Structure 1
Amino acid sequence: MSALRARLSVILLAVGLLFTALAVATPQRAAAAADPGYLMVHFTGEGSANQQMYLSHSTDGVRWNDLNGGGMVLRSPIGTKGVRDPALVRAPGGDKYWIIATDLCIGCGQSWGDAVNNGSRNLVVWESTDLVTWSQPRLLDVAGAIPDGRNAWAPEAIWDPESNDYVLYWATNKPLNGATKHRIYYAHTSDFRTITAPQLYIDRPGTQEIIDTQIVEMPAGVGKYRYVRASGDGQITLEGSDSILGTWTNLGDLSGIGLPGSLVEGPMWMKFNGTNKWALYLDQYATSGGYMPVLTTDPSNPAAYQKQAAGSYTMGGTKKRHGWILNLASAEESRVLARWPNTPAQRLQSFNFQDRYVRQSDFDVRIDPNVNPADDARFRLRPGLAGTGTVSFESVSFPGYFLRHSHYDFQLVPNDGSDQFAQDATFRQVAGLADPAWSSFQSYNHPDHYIRHYAYQLRLDPITTPTGRGDATFRVTN
């Protein structure tokens, strides 16, 4: 009996351990299986600040939250100094990313008439290897070689396995009988630095224009075609093809569900993770309503699309204008959320000149009253680039640019990713040298030096006098 009891005890113990292991392991598996979310890159409206790059994040594809406190994440200082209609392209290997955007800034010294008839023939391109650290932007001439091509708008790109490179496509106004006529052109590229000669891609009959078009690839077994594209061409027209540069078949439009082209534009695709369901986001430009999702399980069938009730989706605090949605991998999502948390924009008020605030002016740094534009005096206090328990000051006007000392002078400089930059742009926030209720900022790599102003210019100096202590004291304020 004692041997039997011993065997039963061993069996019961093993069963107990098995159930314990299952109880512990099941939540871990569920957590690991949870799908990562979605990243939208977009612009927000007119004006120089709104025609820049913004990011929003969603966990479910229909409820969106602004990243970076709703502030821009990239700014173009080149070309027209504005960007619209971005596309976010991921390399097939996931080791490189590009943002390509229209070089256009309405109301920044350029009218719609200028943009239509004598606009930039360039696109603006950023490049990254991690989705969070981006190169300085560059211009890519795509329409200069098109005879009488007047502009280059709304770029998109898709990897083409048939040519083993990207098909880059965009709209250019090539007038017809003196009247505006936008058509879609394409070129091949492998690096978004050089392109093949532009070729005509989509041309609607007669005077009908087409500006916005975006292609989505279908998984095997869904619909009749490998690729579906949605275009703004007087309607939201759907077409299907088995080859990106092959013959496309007209499938119909969305007017049958109450979404004619007079109401919506800027089609933007998104596939929901883990299921064969898509959202086609459309910009309600006619009513200034911003983007709305239209859901479907078969993008090639116009009758399968369903409008969503207003309360079933949220677009966040900023208006989303024509952009791109990327399905994130877990590591990508972690990096993006860590880089652009909703850190508030704050100002540094001078202790001994309390009507003056630290600001950048042509990338020099000083203290001034009545700063205009106000964002030139706003910074996000990020975790220090060089060490824990420290801070770095990222510009609101120029995201990715930080306050950095060089030869004890301060400038606003783009982060080059080097250890030296990180150290020069990192500070310890300590009790104010002139008033402990305020703050002073001690240099990370010159700990006997502090940020101070002298003749209204920002400097890094050792502080030994009462005047110096006042100059080196600031209030962090909204």
Structure 2
Amino acid sequence: MNDDDAASQHWLFAYFTPETEADGEQVRFAVNAGPDAKSWTPLNGGNPVLVSDVGERGARDPFILRDHRRDRFVVLATDLRVAADGDWDRAEHRGSRSILVWESDDLITWSGPRLVPIAWENAGNAWAPKAFWSDERDAWLVFFASSLPNTAEVGGGYQRMFVAETTDFSSFTAPVLYLDLGRSVIDVTFLQVGEWRYRFSATSRPAESPEDEAHVFIERGRSLLDPNFEPWVIAVGKGDIRQGEGPAVVLPPDGSAPLLLIDEFGLSGYHLFEAADPDLRTWKHVHDAVLPPRARHGSLLAITAEEHRRLTARWC
């Protein structure tokens, strides 16, 4: 990485758009249009960059990562196309148990998608896969949400978080239960700040729920697999947005405050928040941020100035 790359602060945003659009539920890219994450340039004219022609032929919740060990970029996504029947009960309880995988060595040419089974055989779905490197396990840990049958042995058919390991995104270990709150929990993602791992999750309940509202919450632990994460922030953005899921969080390379995107699903889409204190207790709503139109649950990847130039040269 040269000095220009080291000083740059560029982001690639991978996202999808709603099932109400003819070409929704496919992977789109955008890059930030300035020195921060407040404005964005959709690539390829806002049209999909990656399209699934396997499984359910839809790709939701894309998560993009840089695999340093293999010098590859990887996109994971949910194998789901709600537009086909509009049946969310089917999607959650009788949907795909596989995830989608694309790979690239330059962010321009992509192989895939591969359809990779990952959930338990009796699971109802495999949603929103996200991968984080574990030095402890010397492997990528892939976290995803899955429902199980409503039986006396496992309880109700709500969403739990599972984790599987991989080194190549082709073969995965059998998943193990990672997080069970006794009610639905989805969209787990992490941010490391110093010695702490901050875990962001969503509760998957509509805002009119008589119980807990659907908001992103934060916990703090020492490692990805720490069994003793402590509650940190109960409902990020409450008061600024009515409900939230699909958190995407990054630590800028220049050491400035962490940035958090939250999807106000079913309403106004993504909103940008900025940590207002070093302990990530308080988050400030960035009211003048303009996200790509209709952007839904996605992820952010720090890219170099050269990668930014390459993307804009190809797709703008």
TM-score, normalising length: structure 2? 0.87
Q: 1:226 aligns with which of 192, 196, 208?
A: 196
The corresponding residue for 1:296 is 275
- Counterparts of 1:170 and 1:282 in 2: how far apart (Å)? 18
Deviation at 1:254, TM superposition (A): 2.6
CA distance in 2, matches of 1:339, 1:190: 30
2: CA distance, partners of 1:155 / 1:216: 16
Structure showing greater radius of gyration is 1
Instruction: Give the structure 1 partner of residue 101 of structure 2.
Output: 125
Measured after TM superposition, the shift of residue 33 of structure 1 is 6.8
* Displacement after TM superposition at 1:46 (Å): 0.7
Counterpart residue number, 1:335? 310
Deviation at 1:250, TM superposition (A): 1.5
Alpha-carbon offset, residue 331 of structure 1: 2.3
Measured after TM superposition, the shift of residue 210 of structure 1 is: 0.5
Q: Letter of the aligned partner of 1:217 in structure 2? A: Q
Aligned residue number for residue 37 of structure 1:
10
C-alpha distance in 2 between matches for 1:73 and 1:32: 24
Q: How does 1:402-417 map to 2 (within 5 A)?
A: none
Q: Secondary structure at the match of 1:254?
A: strand
The alpha carbon displacement at 1:299 in A equals 6.9
Does 1:50 find its partner at 2:29? no
| d(CA) in 2 for partners of 1:255, 1:137 | 34
CA contact (8 A) 2:78 2:100 kept: yes
Is the Cα–Cα contact under 8 Å of residues 157 and 169 in structure 1 kept in the other structure? yes
Pairwise CA distance, 1:332 = 1.6
Paired with 1:105 and 1:32, the residues of 2 have a C-alpha distance of 38
**Does residue 308 in structure 1 map to residue 286 in structure 2?**
yes
> Closer, same or farther in 2 for the Cα pair 1:111/1:93, shift >3 Å?
same
Contact 2:9 2:252 in 1 (8 A): no
Cα distance in 2, alignment partners of residues 214 and 30 from structure 1: 30
2: CA distance, partners of 1:77 / 1:255:
36
Query: Counterpart of 2:89 in 1: which secondary structure?
Result: helix
Encode CA deviations 1:421-448: one digit per residue, 9 max, x unaligned: xxxxxxxxxxxxxxxxxxxxxxxxxxxx
Shift of 1:300: 4.5
Q: Report how far residue 176 of structure 1 moved.
A: 4.2
Aligned to 1:62: 38
Aligned twin of 2:67: 91
Post-superposition CA distance 1:44-85 (Å, at most 9, x none): 111451100100110321211111111111110000000100
Which residue number corresponds to residue 142 of structure 1?
Answer: 118
- Deviation, 1:86, is 0.7
Give the superposition deviation at 1:31.
Answer: 6.7
Q: 1:266 to 1:300 in 2, by over 3 A?
A: farther
**Could you tell me which amino acid in structure 2 is paired with residue 279 of structure 1?**
L
Q: What amino acid maps onto 1:250 in structure 2?
A: P
Q: CA deviation at 1:36?
A: 3.9
- Note if contact 2:237-2:283 (Cα within 8 Å) is conserved in structure 1: no
How far is 1:37 from its partner?
1.1
Query: What secondary structure is seen at the aligned counterpart in 1 of 2:71?
Result: coil
For 2:283, the aligned partner's letter is Y
**Residue matched to 1:103:** 79
Q: Counterparts of 1:196 and 1:30 in 2: how far apart (Å)?
A: 39
Please tell me whether the aligned partners of residues 276 and 297 of structure 1 are also in contact (alpha carbons under 8 angstroms). no
> Of 227, 251, 260, which aligns to 1:280?
260
Offset at 1:256?
7.6
- C-alpha separation in 1, matches of 2:275 and 2:69: 28
AA at the equivalent of 1:210: V
Once the two structures are TM-superposed, the CA of residue 235 in structure 1 deviates from its matched residue by 3.2
Aligned in 2, Cα 1:255/1:56: closer, same or farther, shift over 3 Å?
closer
| Larger helix proportion of the pair | 1
Distance in 1 between the 2:233 and 2:177 partners?
Answer: 22
In 2, Cα distance between equivalents of 1:255 and 1:138:
35
Q: CA deviation at 1:273?
A: 3.4
**Structure 2: gaps (5+ residues):** 204-213
Q: Indicate the residue corresponding to 1:166 in structure 2.
A: 140
Pick closer, same or farther for the CA change 1:197–1:339 going to 2, 3 Å: same
Alignment-mate amino acid for residue 38 of structure 1:
W
Offset of residue 338 of structure 1: 1.6
In the alignment of these two chains, the number of paired residues is 298
Tell me what 1:11 maps to.
Answer: none
In structure 1, C-alpha distance between the alignment counterparts of 2:306 and 2:144, rounded to whole Å? 31
Identity fraction in percent: 32
Cα distance in 2 for partners of 1:229, 1:43 equals 23
Distance of aligned partners of 1:108 and 1:300 in 2 relative to their CA distance in 1, 3 Å threshold: farther
Q: 1:197 to 1:299 in 2, by over 3 A?
A: farther
* Offset, 1:280: 1.0
1:134–1:227 CA distance, 2 compared to 1 (3 A): same
Q: Which amino acid aligns with 1:164?
A: D
The answer on whether the counterparts of 1:52 and 1:74 sit within 8 Å (CA) in structure 2 is yes
Alignment-mate amino acid for residue 285 of structure 2: K
Deviation at 1:35, TM superposition (A): 1.2
Partner Cα distance (2:251, 2:197) in 1? 13
Given that 1:36 and 1:333 are in contact with CA atoms closer than 8 Å, whether structure 2 keeps it comes out as no
Per-residue CA shift, 1:75-132, capped at 9, x if unaligned? 1000000010010011124710110000000021462121011000000110111111
Write the distance in 2 (CA, Å) between the matches of 1:32 and 1:326.
14
The CA deviation string for residues 360-386 of structure 1, in whole angstroms up to 9 with x for no partner, is xxxxxxxxxxxxxxxxxxxxxxxxxxx
Do the aligned residues in 1 keep the contact of 2:28 with 2:46 (CA within 8 Å)?
yes
Aligned to 2:130: 156
Q: How far, CA to CA, are the matches of 1:124 and 1:79 in structure 2?
A: 9
Correspondences of 1:138-287 after superposition (within 5 Å): 138-143=114-119, 146=120, 148-177=122-151, 179-204=156-181, 206=182, 208-218=183-193, 220=194, 225-233=195-203, 234-247=214-227, 248-254=229-235, 257-258=238-239, 263-286=243-266
Higher strand share: 2
Residues 129, 144 of structure 2: 8 Å contact kept? yes
